[in-house]
Each structure stands twice: as structure tokens, then as C-alpha cells.
Structure 1
Amino acid sequence: MRRGSGLVKCHDRRNVPFMTIWPPRPGSLQRPAYRSLVQLIEAAIDSGELKPGQKLPTHRQLAFDLGLSVQTVSRAYDKLVEAGKVQGEVGRGTFVRALSDDLRVPFVSHRTAGRLIDMSILKPVVDHTHKEAFQKALRDIARSVPDAVLGAFRAGTLLDRDHGAVARWLALCGLTAPPSAVVPTNGGTAAMTVALMTAAHSGDLVVAEEIGHHTLRPLTRYLGLRLRGLETDKGGIRPEAFAAACRAEPVKVLHLMPTGLNPLGFTMSSRRREALVEIARRHDVLIVENHSSGPLHEAAPPPLAVLAPERVLFFTSLTKCVLPGLRIGFLVVPNHLGAAAANRHLVTSWMATSLAMEIALRWIETGTAERLLQRQRVALGDRADFAASVLSPVAHRISPSGLHAWLPCADVAQEDALAAAARDAGVAVARAGSFAIGAHDRHPGLRLALGGQSFPDFARGLRIVARLASEHPEAVVPQI
């Protein structure tokens, strides 16, 4: 092998030359050096030259090898930790983060869930009313199956009838949109995938809450996007952190969960939304607004898509607020991105499943969806009140959507210990680590789903967690 131009030329098993990027050659980094080093290490990780679990040189050793200051290398390593690319272990060094970390989910497997009270997965309340409504929908469709359900094979724009129902649902979310701007999808995950594919290209930087959506980290990796978590407080991403990220390097997309769905349980204020939109406009950043909880939160401020329709890709679904099995969502994009979004959806899902779409449209048209929505608001409101009472001795936050409670822990080690103790006691909860985009030292805690179980099981599981918190006061933050 020989060195040249900061790269190393090697040969693979077929004796075909290729260019490597690790280790870098002294003097090959561009200014600012820390940013160039970050990009080089990220590229080496993404290409597989730096393997998961591989130890990086110490700050001092790499600084000596590259002729940099220790502070420059430390700054680069800090940025890589924030981006979730590497992790530092006290006394051992800095290691490339294992790819398996990207695949962790906050919930337990179906088989395991059968043995536990599962408060790990975010689901609405489901009872006999939902089952009866679904059975009726299937009977009605069976009496006269629409041709669109039997023979749907061509993705296209919304028909007049479809758009009327979709517009009605979007209005409940506080949004209006022309048919050409709406892409029906198979739920929120499909909508988020299409939104990111539309808004960004490989290598672009996406920023999000440092405790955010659990699929965002692996999704951006699979799409070849860079992801960085921004400092987040009880009101969402701090505008100062977003502005600083934009000044440091070009940011392509800001992903937000502003309305009750974020694990930390906040709903972003109108003032915070306006501040983030102003920064996005100044730096020409697109915004992906994750509104998967739909219109559960009646008092929520207007969506960011209302404030900046020219740059916000907004999506919502019926899954979290009407019925988990009804995986239908709606992605609303700026006019100039309509064709691109439709094409991205075409190559990933082709079209929303026709039978599920037919049920969703009928329920919206007949008012069934709104009745089930209102029933959900009442049921989750009752559970939220109960949770607030049971958890009153310790600090907690109830999501305004009512879907979950957030229980802050003293530190990451206590988060792990309390989650393990809950599991041993028969309750599955979700750890903050599953939602972390980068390090999550500022927000250790547990997310407790309030739906998904019968009320007796929910109440028993919540009391178990509250008892464990009282038995281990060092693990949780006391109520002030």
C-alpha cells in the first residue's frame, strides 16, 4: 500500500485498487479542521473502514499524528458523540458505536409482551367499541365491495371524494391543503420515510430533538443521511441550539415532534414554533413535522405547516388516535415538492393499501372516526389523571396527548436499573436510551405508555412502577 493525497491506495481480493480514507494523512484536512475530521471519520464509519466497536486513537495520539491541537480533536470527538457515531467510555477510550444500537426499539417483542404488563409500546386504548366499529365496516364493504378496493393498482392523485374526507381529517389537525399536496400513506412511518427522502439527499445533515423518534436514527443511516441531536428542554429544541447548528455547517432538515408525541412529553409553544421557523427560513432549512398523534390534543397550537407551508412537510395518521390496526396516514408537502414526494412514495410503497384506505375514508365521512377520536380523548384523559395521582411523589410529565407519561431518572445508570427492576416485577417500560439521538445524559428517564392495556392491567403496572420508585428514591427525581 502507498500513501498519497491524504488517502491510502489499497487492493481488494480481486486486486482492484480502491481508495481508503482511514487513517488520514497529516495536512490533508481542510479548515476548520475539527469539522473536516468529523466528516472524515463519519465517512470511514459509513464505508465500513472503521468497524462497529473499533477503538479510536486517543485525543492526544490523533492530535500528534495529524499535527492538530488536542482541543481540535476533542471538539471533533464531541461532535461525533452528539451525532451518535461514537461513544466514549470512561477509563477505556472512544469507540465506534455498534450498528446494533441503531436497531434497538423501545418496546418488547410480542412473545415477551405476553408475559408482562406492556407499558413500553405507544398505543391508544382499544375496547369493544373499536371492535364493533371495525366489524361493521367490514360487513358494509362485503355487501358491496368497491371496484377501487378490488382492482386498485394505480397510484394517483386524490379523487374528489377522497380529498373531501382527507381535508376533513386534516382540518381536525388544524391544517388545510390542496389535493396535489397530499400523499396518502400506510401510516406515519411510511410518511416519515417519504418525507425524508423528499427533503434530503445522501450526505445531508438532519437535526432533531436529542430525545426523539426511535426509528429516526436507523432510518437516516439507511438513507445515507447524517443525524445530529440538538439540545432540548421541556419546551422542545432550543432555538439557540438550532441556530448554532445552522451556523456551524449547512443543515438540510429539521425533524420535530412538537405536539405531545415526543417521549419527553412536551407540546411546543407557539412562540417556540415561530422562533424555529424564523431560523429555518434564515438558513433555508426544510422542516419535517411529525404529528402522528393526530388531533388528540385539542388545545395544541397551530402546526408549523400553517406557519411555513413553503418549507414544512407535515404528516399525521389515524393509528395513534383512532385504531392501531388502521395504518393510514397523510403526508402534506409544499407545492414545489408534490411531484417529488409522490415519486418517492411510488418507489417505496406504490400506494396506500386500498382496503385500509376505504375503511378510513368511510369512518371519516360518517363521523365514526371523530366519535372514536373523542372516545379516545376521554379514555386517555382518565388514565392521565390516574397516572398523575399515582406518580405524584416523584417528578413526572404527562403528555398533553395523554398517550404516555415521562418519568425522569437521576442518571443513565439509574434509568437502566429502574427499567430492569420494573421488568423483573412484570412491567415493560421504555428507556430514554431507545430514543436518544446521540448521548442522552441530559434526559435519563422512562416512558410509560398509558394505552394498550386494559385499565386494570394499566393501573397495576403503574402502581408497580410507582412502588419501585418509592423503594429506590435515588433512581428518580423527587417531586418539587
Structure 2
Amino acid sequence: MTILTLIAENQPNTGQKYVHLEQLFKAAIRDGILKPGEKLPPLRTAAWEAKCSLGTMSRVYGSLERKGLVNARVGQGTFVQEAANIGADIILPKPHQGKEEQSLTTDQVIDLGMNAIANDWGEEIIRWALQRTATKASSYNLMTYRDGFGDTKQKLALRAFLPPLLQDVSEDRILINHGVQNGVYTALGRLTSPGDTICLEPLSYPGVGAAISQLGLSSITVETDERGICPISFEQQCKKGRIRILVTTATGHNPTCITTPLSRRKEIGFIAQKYDVLIIEDDIYGFLYPDAPPPYAHLFPSQTVYLSGLAKRISPSLRIGFAVAPPHITMLMAQGITAQTWMVSPILINTAIEIVGRGDDLDSFTSQIRSEAKKRHELTTRFLSPYATDLKACQSHVWIGFPKDIPVPQLVRRAAEAGVHILDGSRFANNTTAGKHNVRLSIMAPDTTHKLEKALIKLKAVLSNPNENSCDFF
């Protein structure tokens, strides 16, 4: 059997053809009908066999590529990933070395791909808090099972990590989870039914798309502008009656750097209320924006699931996150936590509570991050703005648009050859057109400004010498 035969013999009776076709391709790869290294049929051939539009099949191929299952090669076609690589970059690709880069060691590659925030105090504060937990935590916390609902005293203690406007919420509105990604997955899994559609921004953190795919849900995108989601476009989608949930990052958006103003948040919230659409608000970067408008969870508490965590504030290794939502929703999500992992580690929760006690230090650390971000914004702008059509900066990263004559995949590849890992904007795309001429640079990831400057010098050289081999001038 071939993939074309599989498509022809499994025409869907109901539901969205895009979702059905993607599942068929996934099954074909899993079951060996499509073998590692094998070329997929041309888009037109596959679309003809599936009796769907070319756009639908293009969307399927694009989604498979974003999930790391296939690899599109310019001028050659789309190929199934080798077995060792399948799924390795389902959310974000790791820095890798081609034949030209094998002389580079890991230490020589500067990673501007993963959106981490380097700090020299995170390790110290985690070690300190773990030591205190080891000596102070009760036997009950160290040696017993709990459930996904969490402990009242612990939840109230961890409110200190929430924005000031949410710090007085009652404990039945708070859920402790394993981080924002776990919060997104749990909320989508417990608050949707088969056939529900998730509304996304055209560009977003790829983990959301990975969760939607894993849960077998479908998605549509809404138009955005320089202020965030366009109300007219959002309402048009809501009128179709298909949307159950809107997932958005309103503050320090990843990757576009947009912070949605208060007036726009109110417009979007009122539309969500009108059509009974739940808002999942990812506010992982919110602590870096003290002057940001109130979160949706404050403006529309009955309509919002607010998510944040400690991955950016302290360290990605501290897998503690928070959800704030109406009590009936936190109850459902708690059941989801119990079903997935039974409980969030009480040891990590106690560690986070110890860190809460160093509030003055946390405020000082956050101010240091914002100050350092400003310096790095200026450095990045100085080196790269002459080559960009648009450059937006926020507290953790920059989003750069390039002229259409600069092929972004080639830029990413040549940067890797020079020892700099950056991300193609299409990695964040939820449709076939978004992010094609952009890259995201995580300028707060290098542990020193000097290392960032070294990376920017290399990127500038790559952009200044479009026809030269990157390895020739480094």
C-alpha cells in the first residue's frame, strides 16, 4: 500500500478534512507505509487523490514539517525524516551541525533559538531553596501522595508569584501545575470536546500547536495587527459558531513582541463573552512588564484561564506553574493533573514557597533583567537594523523582518555554519503565510552580553556577504 492508496481508500465522511489527512500521514509514517527518507507525493498529486484543495494539502504538509515528521528541501520536495530525528524538534529545533559545521563544538555554538533568560542568580537561589526544603519540609510533604487539587496553604503562599491584580484570588481559583506548557495541554484536554476548534494568532509559541495536534483538535487563525488580535476578524470567526477557546499571549507576545493595549483587551474580552469563547491567557513573560495593562483574568475572570510559571523568572528546571480560573474549571484541570501525573511534586512546590520568601531579591533580579534587556536591544538594533525591514524588541527576544530577497531558511543555515543558532519565523506559524520573512532571536539567552555581541557580529557578516560561505570568514 502507498500513501496515495491510503488517502483514496480513507475519505472522511464528516469532520475537517485537514485533520483527517494529517492523521493519515502520521499513521503512514508510524506504520512504515512512508519510510524514513522517502519523498512525499507532490502537493497537487496528493490533493487530487484526497479530493481537497491545494491549500488544504499544503497546510497538512506544513503541519507535518513543524512537528518534525518531514523535511521540506527547496527545489527537491518533502521527505520523511530519518527515524532518529522524527519528533526531535516537535516544538523547537535543537542546534544541529551539518557536514560543514562538524568542526564546531557545542561550546562554540551560540544559541539564540531557545527563549531562555540567562541569569547568574537562578542557580544559587534554587540550591538555597532546595537545601531549606530538605531540612524544613514535613514528612507529610516528603513521603505521601497528594492529588491534582493541591494544598490550600501552598496555593495561597504561591499567589505572590501572580500579578498584583490577581494576588487576592481565592484558593479555589488557583491550580498549581507543571508549567505553562502543562497548563495549556491540561486546559485544552479537559475543556474541549471532539469537533471543537481552537482559535490561534497567526504566530504563536509552537507548544500550543503541539498540544492541539496531540489532542486531535483543529485550529483556525485570527487576523492580528500592531495592537494584537483584530476584533472584527475575531468576531467573524466567532459568528461561525465553531470556536470553543482562544489561546493568546497579550503581554510580551512570543514571537512578535506585541503587548496588547487595554482598550483592545476589552474589545476582545467582550466578544469572547458574547459568543461564550473561553480565553487561555499565556502570561509567562508578564512579570517583566510591570506597566502592562491588566490581564484578561482580571478584566474577565469568568471567561479566562490565566497561565504563568517560573521557567523564565527563575529557571526552566523548576517545573512549577500556576493557573487562575473559575472554580469549576480549576476542578476539571485538577482532575487532568491527577490523570496525567497524579500530583505536582511537593518537593518542588516547597522549593518554590521558599523562594517566595525572598521577594526583595526577586524584585531586584527582575529589575536587573529589564535593565540588561535594554542594553541588549540597543546592541541588536545597532548591528542588525540596517539589514531589516522591521525590528521589534521586547524583554526576552527580538522579532526581525527581512526583505523578500533574503531567503530566511538559507540565512538560518548559514548562521548555523557560523556557529549561531537562530529560529526561522515559520516555526511559529499557524498558517501557511505567517513568519516567512522573519527570524526570532532570543537575545537574553546568552549568559553574557559579550557572547551576544559575538553572535551579532557573525550574523552581520552573514547578512553583509550573501554569496560567501559562512565558514570562509570565521
Give the TM interval when normalised to the shorter protein.
0.7 to 0.9
Q: Larger C-alpha radius of gyration, 1 or 2?
A: 1
Please list the CA deviations of residues 387-416 of structure 1 after superposition, one character each: whole Å capped at 9, or x if unmatched: 23333423444443x110111123497111
Unaligned runs of 5+ in 1: 1-9, 13-18, 29-35, 67-72, 474-480
TM-score (norm 1): 0.78
What letter corresponds to residue 447 of structure 1 in structure 2?
Answer: R
Shift of 1:361: 1.0
The alignment status of 1:236 with 2:232, answered yes or no, reads no
Q: Please give the secondary structure, in 1, of the residue aligned with 2:184.
A: helix
Shift of 1:362: 1.3
Selected match of 2:456 from 438, 462, 474: 462
Q: Please give the secondary structure, in 2, of the residue aligned with 1:314.
A: strand
Shift of 1:294: 3.6
User: Residue 103 of structure 1 corresponds to which residue in structure 2?
Assistant: 90
Task: Give the 5 Å matches for 1:192-211.
Answer: 192-211=184-203
User: Residue 432 of structure 2 corresponds to which residue in structure 1?
Assistant: 439
Cα gap change, 1:173/1:112 in structure 2, threshold over 3 Å: closer, same or farther? farther
The more displaced of 187-196 and 365-374 is 365-374
Q: Please give the secondary structure, in 2, of the residue aligned with 1:305.
A: helix
8 A contact 1:107–1:430 mirrored in 2: no
Q: Please give the secondary structure, in 2, of the residue aligned with 1:439.
A: coil
Unaligned runs of 5+ in 2: 30-39, 66-71, 98-103, 468-474
Q: Tell me how far apart the structure 1 counterparts of residues 383 and 127 of structure 2 sit (CA, whole Å).
A: 36
Shift of 1:257: 1.4
Selected match of 2:411 from 411, 418, 435: 418
User: Residue 371 of structure 1 corresponds to which residue in structure 2?
Assistant: 364
User: Residue 182 of structure 2 corresponds to which residue in structure 1?
Assistant: 190
The alignment status of 1:322 with 2:314, answered yes or no, reads yes
Please list the CA deviations of residues 391-449 of structure 1 after superposition, one character each: whole Å capped at 9, or x if unmatched: 3423444443x110111123497111111121111100011121111213465211111
Please list the CA deviations of residues 19-50 of structure 1 after superposition, one character each: whole Å capped at 9, or x if unmatched: 997447xxx8xxxxxxx7x7245324425599
Selected match of 2:354 from 349, 362, 365: 362
Cα gap change, 1:398/1:175 in structure 2, threshold over 3 Å: closer, same or farther? farther
8 A contact 1:184–1:330 mirrored in 2: yes
Q: Tell me how far apart the structure 2 counterparts of residues 294 and 396 of structure 1 sit (CA, whole Å).
A: 24
Please list the CA deviations of residues 274-313 of structure 1 after superposition, one character each: whole Å capped at 9, or x if unmatched: 2222222222111111111241112211111112111211
User: Residue 7 of structure 1 corresponds to which residue in structure 2?
Assistant: none
User: Residue 180 of structure 1 corresponds to which residue in structure 2?
Assistant: 172
User: Residue 476 of structure 1 corresponds to which residue in structure 2?
Assistant: none
What letter corresponds to residue 262 of structure 2 in structure 1?
Answer: S
Q: Tell me how far apart the structure 2 counterparts of residues 204 and 244 of structure 1 sit (CA, whole Å).
A: 17
Q: Tell me how far apart the structure 2 counterparts of residues 148 and 397 of structure 1 sit (CA, whole Å).
A: 52
Cα gap change, 1:199/1:391 in structure 2, threshold over 3 Å: closer, same or farther? same
Shift of 1:171: 3.1
- Aligned residues: CA RMSD: 3.7
The more displaced of 380-389 and 213-222 is 380-389
The more displaced of 108-117 and 203-212 is 108-117
8 A contact 1:115–1:426 mirrored in 2: yes
User: Residue 70 of structure 1 corresponds to which residue in structure 2?
Assistant: none
8 A contact 1:322–1:372 mirrored in 2: no
Shift of 1:225: 0.5
Task: Give the 5 Å matches for 1:43-192.
Answer: 43-47=20-24, 53-54=40-41, 74=53, 77-78=54-55, 81=58, 103=90, 105-108=92-95, 113-127=106-120, 129-155=121-147, 157-172=149-164, 176-192=168-184
What letter corresponds to residue 171 of structure 2 in structure 1?
Answer: P
Shift of 1:57: 5.7
Please list the CA deviations of residues 83-126 of structure 1 after superposition, one character each: whole Å capped at 9, or x if unmatched: 85689x9x99x999999698251442699754401111111122
Please list the CA deviations of residues 156-192 of structure 1 after superposition, one character each: whole Å capped at 9, or x if unmatched: 5454532332222213475642211111111211111
Q: Please give the secondary structure, in 2, of the residue aligned with 1:447.
A: strand
Shift of 1:338: 2.3
User: Residue 33 of structure 1 corresponds to which residue in structure 2?
Assistant: none
Q: Please give the secondary structure, in 2, of the residue aligned with 1:330.
A: strand
User: Residue 298 of structure 1 corresponds to which residue in structure 2?
Assistant: 290
Task: Give the 5 Å matches for 1:339-358.
Answer: 339-358=331-350
8 A contact 1:391–1:466 mirrored in 2: yes
The more displaced of 240-249 and 216-225 is 240-249
The more displaced of 106-115 and 327-336 is 106-115
User: Residue 222 of structure 1 corresponds to which residue in structure 2?
Assistant: 214
8 A contact 2:148–2:342 mirrored in 1: no
Please list the CA deviations of residues 119-147 of structure 1 after superposition, one character each: whole Å capped at 9, or x if unmatched: 111111221x3333233223333333432
Q: Tell me how far apart the structure 2 counterparts of residues 407 and 420 of structure 1 sit (CA, whole Å).
A: 16
Task: Give the 5 Å matches for 1:218-297.
Answer: 218-297=210-289
8 A contact 1:20–1:49 mirrored in 2: no
Please list the CA deviations of residues 338-366 of structure 1 after superposition, one character each: whole Å capped at 9, or x if unmatched: 21111011111222222221121111133
Cα gap change, 1:172/1:148 in structure 2, threshold over 3 Å: closer, same or farther? farther
8 A contact 1:317–1:328 mirrored in 2: yes
User: Residue 213 of structure 1 corresponds to which residue in structure 2?
Assistant: 205
Q: How many residues align?
A: 433
Cα gap change, 1:229/1:262 in structure 2, threshold over 3 Å: closer, same or farther? same
8 A contact 1:42–1:85 mirrored in 2: no
Cα gap change, 1:240/1:132 in structure 2, threshold over 3 Å: closer, same or farther? same
Q: Tell me how far apart the structure 2 counterparts of residues 168 and 386 of structure 1 sit (CA, whole Å).
A: 34
Cα gap change, 1:404/1:148 in structure 2, threshold over 3 Å: closer, same or farther? farther
Cα gap change, 1:297/1:51 in structure 2, threshold over 3 Å: closer, same or farther? same
Q: Tell me how far apart the structure 2 counterparts of residues 61 and 360 of structure 1 sit (CA, whole Å).
A: 55
The more displaced of 365-374 and 217-226 is 365-374
Q: Tell me how far apart the structure 1 counterparts of residues 249 and 174 of structure 2 sit (CA, whole Å).
A: 20
Q: Please give the secondary structure, in 2, of the residue aligned with 1:389.
A: helix
